[in-house]
Amino acid sequence: MSSTQYSTSVVTAPRRFEYWKEVVCRHCIPASSKPLVKSDFEGQLAVRGLGSLDICTLSAPLHYWERTPRHLRSGPDEDLWLGFTRHGYGELEQGGRRAKLSAGSLMLYDASQTFRFSLGGSDIHLVRIPRHLLSFRLPGVEKLTAQVLDDRRPGVVPLREMLLQAAATPPGLQDAEISKRFSQTMLDLLVLSLELQDLKKTNAELDLYARVMNYIRLHLSDPNLTIERIAQAHHVSTRTITRAFARHQKTPVSVIWQERLQASREAIENGHVRSVSQVALDHGFSDFSHFSHAFRKAFGVAPQTLLRKH
């Protein structure tokens, strides 16, 4: 868990804010900035790695950052950021949403979108998260930015505690494997926290997942069972179907594939079929060679071999 330290005290007072902008833009997100206080600017920044994440901890007087369309063009960045204002305050605007930040606030923001961000105080932790680590599990995550996470929802309080531990750089996190596992647990808590901010929507998607799973199992013999057909049957968009499955770290296509193979195996073992072609067609496979290859890869035995045993 390497760490790099910066302080504006290494340069003369007139140059401090320019130095601060240069350092923060290098390690965080390129954006325009200006101080919001008239006194001399004094800031400290610590940057450390934690598994697949980077944690930037800063202390500084109130100042303002703005990422504009020009910055998106000149310095494109797809990362997502988790902010934790432990002893800080400010305001974040993004995607038509505005979040007032106070001590202890947790919020998400997106480097691939424009934003306005004022912040000041001490022990402000900004966590860089590679986008793919969240986007697969939370489709539409860009719509969850600029909202203070509600402490009453599961996951938020332990997420805050883990962030505090990570920022304190305990000796145990010097180990690369432990650091990797720690960061993954933090991501799991963040996903849970974001999912449960809207309980009504979450419950609706959990119910949809159960209904779709039942639909898939009833239509395994249909070779045209696709995500489009599933969405049409449930009067929702394909994006909604994808999001419901992403909550379980699955995709509809992979689930259909797995369910077909498992049902094929059960049909053979229970003596319900007499040939490989029959079991393949009964479960939506039209390419017998492809079916045999996938079956062997999944279960370590060819369907012909299993059929002879039963």
User: What is the spatial distance between Cα 122 and Cα 126, in angstroms, rounded to a whole number?
Assistant: 12
**CATH code, domain carrying 252:** 1.10.10.60
First to last CA, the chain: 55
Which distant-in-sequence residues (6+ apart) come within 8 Å of 114 by Cβ?
Answer: 66, 67, 68, 69, 71, 72, 94
82 plus 158 within the same structural domain: yes
Q: Of 159, 140, 153, 162, which Cα lies nearest the Cα of 247? A: 140
Do 303 and 155 have their domain in common?
A: no
Co-location of 191 and 209 in the same domain: no
Domain final residue, candidates 149, 181, 197: 197
Our count of domains for the chain comes to: 2
The boundaries of the domain holding residue 62 are 3-197
Clarify whether residues 37 and 145 are in a common domain: yes
For helices 199-218 and 238-246, give the axis angle rounded to 10 degrees. 100
Q: Among 164, 197, 230, give the residue marking a domain's end.
A: 197
Rounded to the nearest 10 degrees, the angle between the axes of helix 176-195 and helix 156-167 is: 150
Q: Which of 288, 225, 281 is nearest to 255 (CA)?
A: 225
Considering the domain architecture, whether residues 127 and 41 belong to the same structural domain is answered as: yes
How far is the C-alpha of 265 from the C-alpha of 279, rounded, in Å?
Answer: 9
pLDDT in tens, 67-88: 999 999 988 789 999 999 999 9
pLDDT per residue rounded down to tens, the chain (310 residues): 568 999 999 999 999 999 999 999 899 999 999 999 888 899 999 999 999 999 999 999 999 999 999 999 988 789 999 999 999 999 999 999 999 999 999 999 999 999 999 999 999 999 999 999 998 888 888 888 999 998 888 889 999 999 999 988 888 888 889 999 999 999 999 998 888 876 566 667 778 888 999 999 999 999 889 999 999 999 889 988 988 888 787 899 999 999 999 999 999 998 888 899 999 999 999 888 999 999 999 999 999 998 888 6
